[in-house]
A and B are shown apart, each in its own frame.
Chain A
Amino acid sequence: DAMVIQNPRYQVTQFGKPVTLSCSQTLNHNVMYWYQQKSSQAPKLLFHYYDKDFNNEADTPDNFQSRRPNTSFCFLDIRSPGLGDAAMYLCATSRDVINRPRPYEQYFGPGTRLTVT
């Protein structure tokens, strides 16, 4: 089945120790997103790749970076995790094509739950 895969599902890191979360997709979607979601809050978009073009949200801290080496893979790098970065990190994908019968629907991976100690 076509899907969005995230690894690891659970990540524990120490305060200040860099961590990388990965996402892969077999949907062949051209847009990939990274969201941060904290308890009882809406998912917060950090950035997205539209094809190879990186788009950062204005309020995403510099501590968060991303890489998309090819269509299928996308990485989230947290350079110096703080206690406030503990959250669920969700990767999502969509096919952004005008006049597509079901446009703009995003499909989420299972998430990586990050704990910072």
Chain B
Amino acid sequence: RKEVEQDPGPFNVPEGATVAFNCTYSNSASQSFFWYRQDCRKEPKLLMSVYSSGNEDGRFTAQLNRASQYISLLIRDSKLSDSATYLCVVRRTGTGFQKLVFGTGTRLLVSP
């Protein structure tokens, strides 16, 4: 089982729709959580850090459920420019340096 699992999609939605992605992680020691956005043939860009209480940034809302070990990303009022791959990323806690673990991403296609 992969440490971070995402539905690869693609999720095809019309402009203006609301879409949600979930991501599950297997290591209960995971402590920090992020959503990155990656456009085709470009680098990943940090979209949001995910905090325990959940957080919102404009049209984007991230939630963390530690009991069930999943993170979600909600996008409201989808724009064409939201079309991209969304990477779920977790980092463990523990002694010493802990690397990030990336999911393979969920692809979103927003159509006119």
How many chain B residues sit at the interface, stated as a range, is 20 to 34
For residue A68, CB closer than 8 A to chain B, the reply is no
Closest Cβ of chain B: how far from A98's Cβ, in Å?
A: 11
Known A43-B102, A96-B97, A106-B100: A113·B43 in contact at CB below 8 Å: no
The closest CB in chain A to the CB of B4 belongs to A42
Q: State the Cβ distance, A57 to closest chain B Cβ, in Å.
A: 8
For B107, give the chain A residue with the smallest CB separation: A40
A42 CA / B34 CA spacing, docked (Å): 14
Q: What separation, in Å, do the CA atoms of A92 and B97 have in the docked complex?
A: 15
Q: B43 is contacted by which of A31, A55, A105, A110 (Cβ under 8 Å)?
A: A110
Asked if B102 contacts A111 (CB within 8 A), the reply is: no
Which residue of chain A has its CB nearest to the CB of B85? A40
Complex contact B34–A111 (CB within 8 A): no
Instruction: With A88-B41, A105-B34, A113-B41 as known contacts, state yes or no: A41 contacts B104, CB within 8 Å.
Output: yes
- Contacts A55-B97, A88-B41, A113-B41 given; does A105 touch B102 at CB 8 Å: no
| Chain A residues whose C-beta falls within 8 Å of the C-beta of B105 in the assembled complex | 42
Query: Chain A interface (Cβ within 8 Å of chain B)?
Result: 31, 40-43, 45, 48, 50, 55, 88, 90, 96, 102-111, 113
Q: A40-B8, A42-B104 are in contact. List 8 more A-B contacts (CB 8 A).
A: A42-B87, A43-B102, A48-B99, A90-B44, A103-B32, A105-B34, A105-B46, A111-B43
Residues of B within 8 A of A (CB): 4, 8, 32, 34, 41-46, 49, 87, 91, 97, 99-100, 102-105
